[in-house]
Structure 1
Amino acid sequence: MSEKMKRVFAFTAIVLGFFMALLDTTIVNIALPEMTKHFGGSVSGISWVMNGYNLAFAVLILTASRLADQFGRRKVFLIGIALFTLSSLLAGFAPSLGALIVLRIIQGLAGAIIVPVTIPLTTTTFPRELHGAIIGIWGAVSGLAAASGPALGGMLMEKLNWQWIFFVNVPLGVLSVILTLVFIGESKDASAGRRVDFAGTLFITVSMFCLVYGLIRVKDWGWTSAAILLFFAAGLLFLLLFLYAERKGAEPMLPLELLKIKVFNGAALTLLIVGAGLMNISLLTSFFLMRIMAMTDLKAGLILSMMAVGATLTSAISGPLSGKYGSRWFASVGILVLAGATYSLGGLSSSSPVSGILLRLALAGIGVGLTMAPVMSAAVRNVPEEKVGISSGVINMTKALGSVLGVAIIVTALQQNLDDKMGVARSSAVQMIRTDAKLLPQVKEALTASLQSADSGGEGGTASPPAPESAAAAVGAQLRAAASKLAPAQREALEQAVPAQLREAEALVGRIGAEMKEAAVKGFSRTFALASLLLLPGVAFALISDRSPRRSEREIPAAEKGTLL
């Protein structure tokens, strides 16, 4: 077999493992309602099927990168794939919600092992002149995996059942293991010792746990609650202890000289911003499509996959070109395009055509593709070759942290904006009911109670107005109860008024529904605008994410070039 074909099979093994791990960050979300029906329990309980994975993923990434550099990337990658495949199989047969959450945490740990190792495995498999093109494909797969989760999950749910979102990983994992064993050779960081940095491992693990767990619980406890502030303070304290341990340690897991490379820091911060932006646009758009436009999970997932199309195409192009022209301008333009697409989504209404949504999401995907692959390529290109592994861990950790941070901020903002707009709409609805001259007092009372019931039944401030059917049932029940207490002549008069009262009530509910839906649209619009603004600092970081291609190697000082002594 030719060397070229061996590389193709090796890259296929890497991509399969990488695709599985990233796919599982989003594919599960669409199945949460079905899991709730299957296992029972609360919404907050079932959310840990998603949160447990993300928490474990973010906590272990840096440690896994270091261990792979020390003891063999191929070996660690195989452990990650095998663990991920086995936990996926068992998750499909999970007997209880608690067991499923534990298996999802194990999946997250395995994903943290897999993802950062894929970059150094790729760069050691291919010659340096092909790194830009290969990382471009890597970036395309990254965008495809993250964005196609809802669509693939929706199709599996419709044709099979929720267990298959886990079973689908098994053949992919088995194939990846076989191809890895046959076609990928072992590689290590020759400058890394064999001693495990226990202090650094402990401090960064506790730090990331506190920060990520705190961000996950913000929506439950609030940004200013004592518990949240305590978690954030502990996270920052242990991060400082980690940096101190790395400075004093004989064989630190993170050589601090990496943090002296300005372009590497720029790349890491760019991916933190883009990670937040990508999660925000996916979350807000999926909520808008399903809550405001009343789309099914499958339809919403298929529409969201348009972002993957744009990202895949542009990643495959921008990755190789960034190796020649640098990543700075690609990434800067990409973030501006992503910010513009996010802002434009705020212009959607409940009756917007699907073509308009697809166009906006394709544009967002183009922005992601212009940013992710070039910045990832720059991060690898601007560090010493033997430090690609730990560098990959750092930038993947910042991207994962950005995703969790983005969700925490945008969920809080969406809650506040919807509360503001819907609160005004509910007050207006109550006033409309009270001032309607055609309605009897009993009907007004029934409609007001129905409105309050819909409000309390909503989740996250997105309560819907009472449906005409439920409103009619409430009105009918109220009138029948009132009629039963009247004399026969009065009862007959009231029963004759029922049809007219029902028609007026249904018409009024229709007007209230339109007004409340418009209020919710305004709440989403304001949140999309905020999400677009949060992306703008990424432009400044993108501009320092790579060196100017006009600067030759001899012009770059050794310290800036990242030589580690």
Structure 2
Amino acid sequence: MSEKMKRAFAFTAIILGFFMALLDTTIVNIALPEMRTYFGGGVAEISWVMNGYNLAFAVFILTASRLADQFGRRKVFLIGITLFTVSSLLAGFAPSLEVLIGLRVIQGLAGAIIVPVTIPLTTTTFPKEMHGIIIGIWGAVSGLAAASGPALGGVLTENLDWKWIFFVNVPLGVLSLILTPIFIRESKDVSAGRRVDLAGTLFITGSMFCFVYGLIRVDDWGWTSSAVLLLFAAGLLSLLLFLYAERKGAEPMLPLELMKIKAFNGAALTLLIVGAGLMNISLLTTFFMTRIMGMTELKAGLILSMLAIGSTLTSAVSGPLSGKFGSRWFAAGGVVVMAGATYSLGGLTSASPVSGILLRLALAGIGIGLTMAPVMSAAVRNVPEEKVGISSGVINMTKALGSVLGVAIIVTALQQNLDDKVGAARSSAVQVVRNDAKLLPPVKEALMASLQGAGSGGSAEAASLPSPESAAAAVGSQLRAAASKLAPEERAVLEQSAQGQMRETEAVVDRIGREMKEAAVKGFSRTFALAGLLLLPGIPFALISDRARRRSEGGIPAAEKGTLL
């Protein structure tokens, strides 16, 4: 077999594991309602099917990178693939919600092992002159996996069963397990030593757990709650202790000299912001399509896959070109495009055509593709070759942290904006009902009770109002209750006016519904605008994510390799 074919099979093994680990960050989201129906329990409990994976993934990723550098990347990769495949199979047969959540935590740990190892395995498999092309493909697969999760999850849940979102991983994992030992050679960081940095592992694990768990619980407890503030304080303290341990340790898991490489810092911070931006686009657009436009989760997921199309195409191009011309301008331009696309999503209305959503999402996908692959390529290019493994762990950790941070910020902002806009519209609606001269007092009471109960809580459901039919049913019930308390002659008068009251109720509710939906659209528009603005700090970070290009003596552009300063 030719060397070219061996590399192709090796890359296939790497990509299969990488794809399924990233796919599982989003594929379960659309199936959560089905899981809740199957297992029972509340929204808070079922959400840990998603949160458990994300928490374990973010917490363990740096430690996994270090262990792979020390004891062999292929060996650790095989452990991760085996663990992920087995836990996926068992998750499909989980007898209870508690068992499923536990298996999802194991999946998250396995994903944390797989994802950061894929970059050093790739760079050691291919010659340096091919790194730009290969990382471009790697970036394309990254965007495809993350963005296609909702669509694939929706298709599997709709046509088969929610359990298949786990079973689909099994053949991918088995194939990767077959190919890896045959075609991938072992590699490690020979300067890393064999001693495990227990202090560093303990402190970074504790720090990431406190930060990520605190961000996950912000939606329940609030940013200023004592529990969240305590978690953030503990996370900061653990981080400071980690840095101290790394500075003093004989064999630290994270060489702090990496933090002196400006381009590496720029790449990590860019991915922190882009990770948040990607999650914000996905979350807000999905909520808007399902809650405001009334789409099914499956249709929304399929539309959202346009992100993957745009990202895949541009990643495959920008990766190789960034290896030749540098990553800075590709990455900065990508962040600008992402920010503009996110801001433009705020122009959607409840009657917007699907083509308008697809165009905006395609533009956002193009921005993601222009950013992700070049930044990952720059992070690899600007650190010493033997430190690619731990560097991959750092930048993947910051991206994972950014995703959780983005969700925490944007959900809080969406709640506040919907509270402001829909709350004001609800107050106005109550006055409309009170001032309606045609409605009888019992009818007004029923309508105002419906309005006060609709859309409360400041979530995406704030746009959900009683339909004219449900409002009429509530009014009918109220009229019957009122009639039962009246004298026969008064009851006859009320019954004669019931039909007219129903018609007036439907007209009032229809008018109020339109006004409150418009208010909810304004709340989403403001939140999309904020999400776009939050991407802007990524521009200066992207500009320092790669070293300035210089000319070699022969006039050919050359990258300046990073060194530990």
Is TM (by shorter chain) over 0.5? yes
Q: How do residues 47-58 of structure 1 correspond to structure 2 at under 5 angstroms?
A: 47-58=47-58
Q: How do residues 138-157 of structure 1 correspond to structure 2 at under 5 angstroms?
A: 138-157=138-157
- Say if 1:81 and 1:176, in contact at 8 Å, map to a contact too: yes
Report what 1:467 is aligned to: 467
Report what 1:448 is aligned to: 448
List per-residue Cα deviations over 1:193-236 (Å, max 9, x = no partner): 01111111001000000011111111111111111111111111
Report what 2:275 is aligned to: 275
The whole-number CA distance in structure 2 between the counterparts of 1:332 and 1:268 is: 14
Report what 1:328 is aligned to: 328
The whole-number CA distance in structure 2 between the counterparts of 1:553 and 1:445 is: 84
Q: TM-score, normalization: structure 2?
A: 0.97
Report what 1:159 is aligned to: 159
The whole-number CA distance in structure 2 between the counterparts of 1:553 and 1:221 is: 60
Point out the more displaced range, 196-205 or 469-478.
469-478
The whole-number CA distance in structure 2 between the counterparts of 1:344 and 1:562 is: 38
List per-residue Cα deviations over 1:287-330 (Å, max 9, x = no partner): 00000001001000000000100000000000000001100000
Report what 2:520 is aligned to: 520
List per-residue Cα deviations over 1:306-365 (Å, max 9, x = no partner): 010000000000000000110000001100000000000000000000000000000000
The whole-number CA distance in structure 1 between the counterparts of 2:457 and 2:535 is: 34
Q: How do residues 124-523 of structure 1 correspond to structure 2 at under 5 angstroms?
A: 124-456=124-456, 459=459, 462-523=462-523
- Say if 1:418 and 1:461, in contact at 8 Å, map to a contact too: no
Paired letter, 1:248: K
Q: State the 1:488 CA deviation.
A: 3.0
List per-residue Cα deviations over 1:368-399 (Å, max 9, x = no partner): 00000000000001111111000000000000
Paired letter, 1:199: A
The whole-number CA distance in structure 2 between the counterparts of 1:325 and 1:458 is: 47
- Say if 1:328 and 1:544, in contact at 8 Å, map to a contact too: yes
The whole-number CA distance in structure 1 between the counterparts of 2:54 and 2:143 is: 17
Q: State the 1:456 CA deviation.
A: 4.7
Paired letter, 1:56: A
Helix, strand or coil for the counterpart of 2:439? coil
The whole-number CA distance in structure 2 between the counterparts of 1:170 and 1:142 is: 19
- Say if 1:458 and 1:464, in contact at 8 Å, map to a contact too: no
Q: State the 1:458 CA deviation.
A: 7.8
List per-residue Cα deviations over 1:2-59 (Å, max 9, x = no partner): 1111111110000000000000000011011111111111111111111110000000
- Say if 1:258 and 1:562, in contact at 8 Å, map to a contact too: no
When residues 16 and 166 of structure 1 are mapped into structure 2, their CA distance, relative to the original with a 3 A threshold, is same
Report what 1:75 is aligned to: 75
List per-residue Cα deviations over 1:42-83 (Å, max 9, x = no partner): 111111111110000000000000100110000000000000
Q: TM-score, normalization: structure 1?
A: 0.97
- Say if 1:132 and 1:323, in contact at 8 Å, map to a contact too: yes
**Aligned: 1:92 with 2:100:** no
Helix, strand or coil for the counterpart of 2:454? helix
Paired letter, 2:56: A
Q: State the 1:413 CA deviation.
A: 0.4
Point out the more displaced range, 443-452 or 509-518.
443-452
Structure 1 unaligned segments of length 5 or more: list them: 555-559
- Say if 2:215 and 2:404, in contact at 8 Å, map to a contact too: yes
Report what 2:557 is aligned to: none
List per-residue Cα deviations over 1:461-516 (Å, max 9, x = no partner): 62522111111111111112222233333322221211111000001000110011
The whole-number CA distance in structure 2 between the counterparts of 1:88 and 1:163 is: 9
- Say if 1:415 and 1:461, in contact at 8 Å, map to a contact too: no
The whole-number CA distance in structure 1 between the counterparts of 2:484 and 2:341 is: 59
The whole-number CA distance in structure 2 between the counterparts of 1:420 and 1:5 is: 59
The whole-number CA distance in structure 2 between the counterparts of 1:70 and 1:56 is: 21
- Say if 1:267 and 1:379, in contact at 8 Å, map to a contact too: yes
Percent identity, please.
84
Report what 1:557 is aligned to: none
- Say if 1:7 and 1:183, in contact at 8 Å, map to a contact too: yes
Helix, strand or coil for the counterpart of 1:404? helix
Paired letter, 1:384: P
Helix, strand or coil for the counterpart of 1:462? helix
Paired letter, 1:51: N
- Say if 1:422 and 1:461, in contact at 8 Å, map to a contact too: no
Report what 2:22 is aligned to: 22
Q: How do residues 98-137 of structure 1 correspond to structure 2 at under 5 angstroms?
A: 98-137=98-137
When residues 364 and 403 of structure 1 are mapped into structure 2, their CA distance, relative to the original with a 3 A threshold, is same
The whole-number CA distance in structure 2 between the counterparts of 1:531 and 1:537 is: 12
- Say if 1:14 and 1:180, in contact at 8 Å, map to a contact too: yes
When residues 553 and 222 of structure 1 are mapped into structure 2, their CA distance, relative to the original with a 3 A threshold, is farther
Q: How do residues 528-547 of structure 1 correspond to structure 2 at under 5 angstroms?
A: 528-547=528-547
Q: State the 1:552 CA deviation.
A: 4.9
- Say if 1:257 and 1:564, in contact at 8 Å, map to a contact too: yes
The whole-number CA distance in structure 2 between the counterparts of 1:232 and 1:253 is: 23
The whole-number CA distance in structure 2 between the counterparts of 1:498 and 1:181 is: 77
The whole-number CA distance in structure 1 between the counterparts of 2:507 and 2:434 is: 15
Paired letter, 2:108: G
List per-residue Cα deviations over 1:392-434 (Å, max 9, x = no partner): 0000000000001101100110010001111101101100100
- Say if 1:144 and 1:308, in contact at 8 Å, map to a contact too: yes
Helix, strand or coil for the counterpart of 1:84? helix
The whole-number CA distance in structure 2 between the counterparts of 1:327 and 1:287 is: 33
Paired letter, 1:251: E
- Say if 1:457 and 1:463, in contact at 8 Å, map to a contact too: no
- Say if 2:414 and 2:459, in contact at 8 Å, map to a contact too: no
The whole-number CA distance in structure 1 between the counterparts of 2:453 and 2:274 is: 39
The whole-number CA distance in structure 2 between the counterparts of 1:58 and 1:105 is: 11
Paired letter, 2:503: R
The whole-number CA distance in structure 2 between the counterparts of 1:231 and 1:446 is: 44
Paired letter, 2:20: M
- Say if 1:261 and 1:561, in contact at 8 Å, map to a contact too: no
List per-residue Cα deviations over 1:79-106 (Å, max 9, x = no partner): 0000000000111111111111100000
- Say if 1:139 and 1:369, in contact at 8 Å, map to a contact too: yes
Aligned length: 561
